[in-house]
Amino acid sequence: MHDPTPEASLQVLERLCGEIDVYSATVVLPGVNDGDRLIETCEWLDEKGAKGLILMRFANTTGQGLILGNAPVIQGQQIQTPEEFSRIVTAMNDRCRMKVSGTPLWDPSIGSPFAILNEPDLLARLPRLARRATVISGSIAAPYIQRVLDACGDTATVVGVKKEIACLITIEDLVALTGDLPDDPIIIPGRAFVHDKEAEEVLSCGDAQRELVRGPDCLTADAETSMGMSREEVLALEMEGFSSLIQTINRYGR
């Protein structure tokens, strides 16, 4: 971090851990601060009394979420897959008394994102799908969302763009989908970085005329959100988000 006084900064952090609830975060780069160095970091924070640590996978490509045309940030830097990163998160959480979660995946203590998939009673309480629609999401969330919607009926198709994070979808991501979509109304993430009219024009190219609707802002809790939440709170958030999504499909679907 090029901190000119790292010892003083660590002393301040240690003092804060003794006075307040401290939730920390670190960006993990393979070959730089992972492996034994990451274990050392986690053990130091645990010893000083931190309540939690969010491990953040370094983003180096457009697909991993960079939207400012600045990829790669570090030429040739190796990056873990989401699955590899989630295993690191689990291993660190198992070693520590404090809670360790990760982004883009996952929260081992709660089982999120999409903890609802392990709760068949809650899935059964969601509204049933009555109409057809196509739901667009990021590549990480798409298969999870499809599994939830499949539990509520078989009328929704979830399509993942190449970008991993749904909230960072831009118009370029939608342009790449135009030839692969059914002619159903389309629901995009509520916080996607696209203008509705432009997105509708892109997705309605050629003979296909598709209605576009924004879905809920949030369907689950990422690590930064779930760090301070209970499992019950995360499940309540997911129930609310998916109920809203299904109601949107039933209102605007075909």
Write the pLDDT tens digit of every residue in 150-162.
Answer: 999 989 999 999 9
Largest CA-CA distance found in the chain, in angstroms, rounded: 64
Q: Which ranges of the chain have pLDDT less than 50?
A: none
What pLDDT, on the 0 to 100 scale, is given for residue 129? 97
SS3 91: helix
User: Is domain 6-103 annotated with CATH 1.20.120.450?
Assistant: no
Q: What residues does CATH 3.20.20.70 cover in the chain?
A: 6-103
- CATH 3.40.50 residue ranges for the chain: 115-252
Identify the pLDDT of residue 70. 92
3-class SS shares of the chain: helix, strand, coil, % to 5: 40, 15, 45
Residues 6 or more apart whose Cβ sits within 8 Å of residue 65: 59, 163, 164, 165, 168
CATH of domain 115-252: 3.40.50
Strand, helix or coil for residue 186: strand
- How far is the C-alpha of 105 from the C-alpha of 87, rounded, in Å? 9
Whole-angstrom Cα distance, residue 185 to residue 9? 53
Peptide bond into 108 cis (omega under 30): no
pLDDT digits (tens, 9 = 90+) for 182-209: 889 999 999 999 999 999 988 887 666 7
Provide the whole-model pTM.
0.92
Token pair of 65, please? 């979420």
pLDDT score recorded for residue 207: 64
User: What pLDDT is attached to residue 248?
Assistant: 97
